[in-house]
Structure 1
Amino acid sequence: MSPPVAGSRLRETPEARVLRFLEEERPELAGAFREALGGARRAVMRRLLESALREDLCGLHSRLRLDGELASVSLPAERLVFGVKTVRAFRRFEVGEVWLVAGEAARPAGSATELISALREAGEASLAWDGLERELSNAAANLALARAYAGQVGERLRERAAGLGAGDSLELAALEELPAGLFFERLGAEGHNLHPSAKTKLGMEPRAVLRHSPELDGEAPLRFVAVHRDRLRSASVSGEGFEEVLGARLPGVRERAAAELAEAGLRAEDYALVPVHPWQYERVLPEVYAGEVARQEVVPVRGVCVPARATASFRTVVPEGARLAVKVAVSSQMTSTVRSISPQTALNAPEITRILREIMAREPDLARTFVPVSELAGVHFAGDTGEKRRSLSAVLREGVDSHLEPGDLPVAGCALYAESPVTGKTVLAELVEAHACATGSASLQEAAVSFVGEYAGIAVPGFLTLMSVYGVGLEGHLQNCVPVFRQGRPAKLLFRDWGGARIHAGRLERSGIEANLAPGSLTLADSVGEMRRKVLYTVFQNHLGEVVLQASKGFGVPERELWREVRRACEEVFQILASRPGSAPNTLSDRRVLYAPEIPHKALTRMRLDPGKGDIYVSVPNPLCKAGQQEKRGGS
């Protein structure tokens, strides 16, 4: 039974604010939100504990005592006791109930706040425990809201599926009248698969969370501001101005804005349009750019609005009727980062597109199954502070549908572990079942192994080739990837969003390609190791690790069998690359690191507790190493 959530206990908490908003404006969700709160609190607490164990935070893993399915750790004031369902690859625990034991008294822990209270006694006092607690309280409230909404929308989708004769979410998505892939972009009620702060949206009021979040069927109608051309910096693949690229894909917007400027007595030719997220337009621009608005350097365009829908990344929206995605600044912290857009990200977007297009032109075989979704143009405000430069910025990207053929089903990677509203299974489980039908597999277990092998076959070659040959470490986590399926079989992988990529200039230049990136770009890696870590974490742990986990969990296949399929895909790539003139040294060193007994894991919770240190990595056991040892001992 969930603990009570009414009264003074909720006063001034994120949960209280959400509940008050729902009772006043969306009463049909209030009851479901109350029911979801206890489970959401515990889910966030378990994610925190699982992350702390992976990272050995406060020595939790080093001091862990495991007795069957029960684990305990002695802390300064009490003992932490919890159930362990299993421990998967990369030291990924799945924990059950959690208790705090002092002497003979034991009490169940029901929230991240209670767990943090125990952990901070064992950790460094200087760490940002209060900040982490604030983030996770916000995350729990938003997770409860997402679960409450998912329960209600799930009923509607099941009714719709029955009416259309759709047996699962794959069939329903194919029949829905939504832009390509958007159905799956909006299934992620649980958020990031590894981050404890998966649902955090600091600074954003409940009304905006409900209005704009993809998992809440959010809409984000694009607003626009006219910015004096002297105060803008932009770049594009075509060499045109940002506004020209925008206008070609959103017809009529420039003309309507020009008419409004003329009515205000302003010369339209002195200004260029920048798209803005509606929340940013309403809540951030009036405060951050008050002086610029007063001087008419920044002019909000009141009469132009383009209907658009949120995608999995929240700040990237898809305008209605356009084969375009628009990434816009949102000054709210989501997971670890305030989701504004740096000047370097905006200006580098078309340059990285140019680099990737040149690489793909050299790799025609690869280009058939590994497809960059090009970023066409970027723009940012040329302000005198970092906040002003980051808060009014945007990137224009191709729409996913630009790369689809009839019969293709694009599935946002972060939807693979989402629950299907039609069957209650994961989307990945539905794909494996479709794969079994398409291939005539003797069993679902056999289909799961085959599916993982084929999936690795469309993902691994691109990521490894770009890393080893060209020094490009793509941020290939699930949200940035859109696998495309035909009858449940992986056909190709679309990858998007260059903001988190890391490029080693030495490797790239030795391939004969130069990178002309903006000064101060984090994209330029200081070392091969930094570039390589980006791939090892995002591709093999966040992305393929989740695919393997879900296939293993859903169909009872031992993870080691599935990691052998991933390693086979890697070996095929390494053998091809090692035979290329000049590629052997990079290939051998990358192979050695990829198959090492331990692999670097991005310590997401440590980074929240010590935000001034930037990226922090710890070592975790590497299943690809064991997969190779098993093959040597027992063949396949």
Structure 2
Amino acid sequence: MHNETNRTTYIQNQADRIILHLLVQAMIREEAYPYDLLPNGAAFPIGKAALEVEITHTYRLGQLDIARVQYVEGEDVHEITDPLQVLGLFLPTDDPFYIEVKNSVRNLALALTASEERNQKVEQEAEALGVSDVFSYVLQKKSKAFSPLTFFEQLVIQGHTIHPCARTRIGLSEKEARQYAPEWGGTPAVIPVAVHKQLFRETLMEGKTVKEILFAEYPEVEKAFLSEINHPDDYGLIPVHPWQWKHTIVKDYQADIEAGRIKRVKGADIATAALISFRSLAPLNNQWKHHIKTAVNIQMTSAVRTVSAASTYNGPMLSRFFKDLLESDEALRSHLSTMKEPAAIHYQPSTGVEDAHFFQKNLAAIVRENPEYALGDEEVAIPGASLLAPSPVSGKTIAEEASERAGSPRAFIRRYAEALLPGVLHLLGEYGIAMEAHLQNAVVVFKGGHPLRTILRDHGGIRVLEKRLAEHFGDVPIDASTNLLTDDTEELLDIFTHSVLHNHLGEIIVQLARKTGCAEDGLWAEVEMVVKETAVRLSEEAREDIQRILHRPARMKALVQMRLKNEVTENRYVDMPNPFTKESEVRGR
């Protein structure tokens, strides 16, 4: 009992420390509150007192190594180890952001507990298999019943790498987290739900419906559907997360359920595995071609993770566009592909229903291509976020293991940048499309522990420069209600710097610098060389965009500022040092 108490306390302290550092770092980098520079850090004035942050190192993009956080009032100095103590100095305890950070700490402690339990089992199995790193482990295990992608996705513990609400899940109980969350190896049984044709709208990429796709991969679903549903041609199929069915559908769609317009297809739930985003689910048998993105009315990070009607339209439409684009552009195709979304569907309430938007987005789903379906025998698909996770085989980070296979951190970053950047920069410069290629959205294909190419998923956060796209393709059908279209080139560059520099390469580089002692400057020099080598192969207009990336401030989304001001749909950015220049300092007001 004593050891168990000590273990729980240790894990809780870990969670407190991680979220505290994310919070304080965001407050400084985003200038969320006024602060003054100190010789070794920063001080936030609070009346006659101050919150002082001792900083031991500042990295090229402004990331910080924090030694301690203290509350100082005259001669009284108190060390702070709890992020809620910091927030309590600025916000009331009933403020939504305070509540979200509190929830994030709780869920991170749960995730750390899950990680410890799972890693012990994997370590023992790896020892029995005689393997020394995670790449060898997954290749030995790879089969129809073992998905390396799912394995890597479920290794991710922290979630968002630069947001203190990294593990916020408002509405999810501890029991439900253990049942459904990816870090617990969650296997949600997706519920097939029949919806009358008068009450749904479906968008198709090439002709196959959600119902047809799922029937082809799960014959038991088709059998149950045909046996339970009278007039089956009159109904479509929406796959529903079991949490959503229990907490939202049976309560808010009760009238349609009672009238038989919405029907649960019983006895044919679909076995899936939860991926990083919680609501995106992979088939347990990875020979099947599709993942399923479901709606869950749970707030994670700063947003409730439903599926908007615009997303169910744009997914298949953009998938068709990217398919045609990649087929026509061989240079782009050699570096990058996207996970196509062949069909998407949402509930469409009758005319005049109050809060129609709520009903649309809470009963909706997207069917998405499974990137493992077309991989070679020795290839594995790895989400970028998992590179920051500890390997359960060696205890090192997975990025460290990959660096050892490459021969050095510099050699690894060079190959990783070559797998990631050419395709993303090509899309941005030539076609005016900024993909949100952050750690969670970029799945990198590795072979022999070495990165080869990138597969991007999720079209929700991209930006498209309407004029440049029209030069090549004329009008591309896009629902602009989610702010995908822009006429501002700077907005494209902001999406790139935030998602690719700050929330992808920058996090991997800082991790390697901390863990291996390698020079950060050398790692960024490798990235810069790849950027410049890519620019040479592109048009003059594209090269101009890349020159701005190399010299303008590396702007970052002010995620905490946005949350404090309740601006979760309109992006707010702050200027940060450019990693390709010599700037590197903590800024103050």
Distance in 1 between residues matched to 2:188 and 2:290, nearest whole Å: 14
**1:318 is the counterpart of 2:274:** no
**1:292 is the counterpart of 2:256:** yes
SS in 2 for 1:330: coil
Aligned residues of 1:567 and 1:624 also touching (Cα < 8 A):
yes
The 5 Å alignment of 1:225-240 reads: 225-240=193-208
The verdict on how the C-alpha distance between 1:615 and 1:129 changes in structure 2, with shifts beyond 3 A counting, is: farther
Aligned match for 1:212, one of 160, 180, 183? 180
Aligned residues of 1:99 and 1:107 also touching (Cα < 8 A):
yes
Aligned residues of 2:224 and 2:265 also touching (Cα < 8 A):
no
Distance in 2 between residues matched to 1:142 and 1:272, nearest whole Å: 36
1:563-583, CA deviations, whole angstroms, 9 ceiling, x for partnerless residues? 1111111111212113xxxxx
Distance in 1 between residues matched to 2:7 and 2:196, nearest whole Å: 48
SS in 2 for 1:318: strand
The verdict on how the C-alpha distance between 1:319 and 1:487 changes in structure 2, with shifts beyond 3 A counting, is: closer
Aligned residues of 1:77 and 1:118 also touching (Cα < 8 A):
no
**1:624 is the counterpart of 2:585:** no
Distance in 2 between residues matched to 1:609 and 1:550, nearest whole Å: 28
Q: Which residue of 1 aligns with 2:329?
A: 363
SS in 1 for 2:473: coil
Distance in 2 between residues matched to 1:31 and 1:106, nearest whole Å: 27
Distance in 2 between residues matched to 1:513 and 1:310, nearest whole Å: 38
Distance in 1 between residues matched to 2:295 and 2:122, nearest whole Å: 31
The 5 Å alignment of 1:227-266 reads: 227-261=195-229, 266=230
Amino acid corresponding to residue 286 of structure 1 in structure 2: V
1:197 is displaced (CA, Å) by: 0.3
Q: Which runs of 5+ in 1 are unaligned?
A: 1-22, 437-446, 579-583, 628-636
Aligned match for 2:114, one of 149, 152, 155? 149
SS in 2 for 1:272: strand
Q: Which residue of 1 aligns with 2:426?
A: 465
Distance in 1 between residues matched to 2:325 and 2:7, nearest whole Å: 50
The verdict on how the C-alpha distance between 1:364 and 1:82 changes in structure 2, with shifts beyond 3 A counting, is: same
1:34 is displaced (CA, Å) by: 4.2
Higher relative contact order (CA 8 A, sep 6+): 2
Distance in 2 between residues matched to 1:612 and 1:196, nearest whole Å: 16
SS in 2 for 1:191: coil
**1:604 is the counterpart of 2:553:** no
SS in 1 for 2:388: coil
Aligned residues of 1:257 and 1:303 also touching (Cα < 8 A):
no
Distance in 2 between residues matched to 1:601 and 1:295, nearest whole Å: 49
Aligned residues of 1:32 and 1:148 also touching (Cα < 8 A):
no
SS in 2 for 1:395: strand
- How many residue pairs get matched? 572
Amino acid corresponding to residue 204 of structure 1 in structure 2: L
Distance in 1 between residues matched to 2:172 and 2:475, nearest whole Å: 41
Q: Which residue of 2 aligns with 1:223?
A: 191
The 5 Å alignment of 1:15-30 reads: none
SS in 2 for 1:569: helix
Distance in 2 between residues matched to 1:320 and 1:533, nearest whole Å: 37
The 5 Å alignment of 1:524-539 reads: 524-539=485-500
Q: Which residue of 2 aligns with 1:552?
A: 513
Distance in 2 between residues matched to 1:116 and 1:156, nearest whole Å: 37
**1:400 is the counterpart of 2:374:** no
Q: Which residue of 2 aligns with 1:309?
A: 273
Please identify, of 166-175 and 28-37, the stretch whose mean Cα deviation from structure 2 is larger: 28-37
Aligned match for 2:384, one of 397, 413, 423? 413
Q: Which residue of 2 aligns with 1:442?
A: none
1:400 is displaced (CA, Å) by: 1.5
Q: Which residue of 1 aligns with 2:29?
A: 54
Distance in 2 between residues matched to 1:365 and 1:159, nearest whole Å: 44
Amino acid corresponding to residue 491 of structure 2 in structure 1: E
Aligned match for 1:281, one of 242, 245, 251? 245
Q: Which residue of 2 aligns with 1:193?
A: 161
The verdict on how the C-alpha distance between 1:347 and 1:89 changes in structure 2, with shifts beyond 3 A counting, is: same
Report the TM-score when normalising by structure 2: 0.93
Q: Which residue of 2 aligns with 1:594?
A: 549
Distance in 2 between residues matched to 1:548 and 1:313, nearest whole Å: 23
1:246 is displaced (CA, Å) by: 2.6
Report the TM-score when normalising by structure 1: 0.86
The verdict on how the C-alpha distance between 1:526 and 1:386 changes in structure 2, with shifts beyond 3 A counting, is: farther
**1:390 is the counterpart of 2:358:** no
1:240-274, CA deviations, whole angstroms, 9 ceiling, x for partnerless residues? 3332233223333122122122xxxx322211111
Aligned residues of 2:442 and 2:456 also touching (Cα < 8 A):
yes
Distance in 1 between residues matched to 2:158 and 2:210, nearest whole Å: 35
SS in 1 for 2:440: helix
The 5 Å alignment of 1:54-93 reads: 54-60=29-35, 63-67=36-40, 71-93=42-64
Amino acid corresponding to residue 114 of structure 2 in structure 1: Y
Aligned residues of 2:429 and 2:541 also touching (Cα < 8 A):
no
**1:137 is the counterpart of 2:102:** yes
**1:540 is the counterpart of 2:504:** no
Q: Which residue of 2 aligns with 1:429?
A: 400
The verdict on how the C-alpha distance between 1:331 and 1:526 changes in structure 2, with shifts beyond 3 A counting, is: farther
Aligned residues of 1:84 and 1:94 also touching (Cα < 8 A):
yes
Aligned match for 2:125, one of 137, 160, 167? 160
The verdict on how the C-alpha distance between 1:202 and 1:352 changes in structure 2, with shifts beyond 3 A counting, is: same
Please identify, of 554-563 and 72-81, the stretch whose mean Cα deviation from structure 2 is larger: 72-81
Aligned match for 1:585, one of 541, 545, 549? 541
Aligned residues of 1:381 and 1:393 also touching (Cα < 8 A):
yes
1:78-120, CA deviations, whole angstroms, 9 ceiling, x for partnerless residues? 2212331311122111212211111211212122211012234
Q: Which runs of 5+ in 2 are unaligned?
A: 584-589
Distance in 2 between residues matched to 1:290 and 1:153, nearest whole Å: 39
Aligned residues of 1:308 and 1:317 also touching (Cα < 8 A):
yes
Aligned residues of 1:260 and 1:303 also touching (Cα < 8 A):
no
Aligned match for 2:135, one of 166, 170, 186? 170
Amino acid corresponding to residue 572 of structure 2 in structure 1: I
SS in 1 for 2:581: helix
1:35 is displaced (CA, Å) by: 3.6
SS in 2 for 1:108: strand
Distance in 2 between residues matched to 1:533 and 1:291, nearest whole Å: 45
Aligned residues of 2:493 and 2:549 also touching (Cα < 8 A):
no
Q: Which residue of 2 aligns with 1:347?
A: 313
1:473 is displaced (CA, Å) by: 1.1
Distance in 1 between residues matched to 2:394 and 2:148, nearest whole Å: 21
Q: Which residue of 2 aligns with 1:333?
A: 299
The verdict on how the C-alpha distance between 1:499 and 1:236 changes in structure 2, with shifts beyond 3 A counting, is: same
Q: Which residue of 2 aligns with 1:11?
A: none
Percent identity over paired residues:
27
Amino acid corresponding to residue 293 of structure 2 in structure 1: K
1:363-415, CA deviations, whole angstroms, 9 ceiling, x for partnerless residues? 21331231212111111111341110100111111112123112112221110
Distance in 1 between residues matched to 2:474 and 2:447, nearest whole Å: 35
SS in 1 for 2:396: coil
Aligned residues of 1:129 and 1:609 also touching (Cα < 8 A):
no
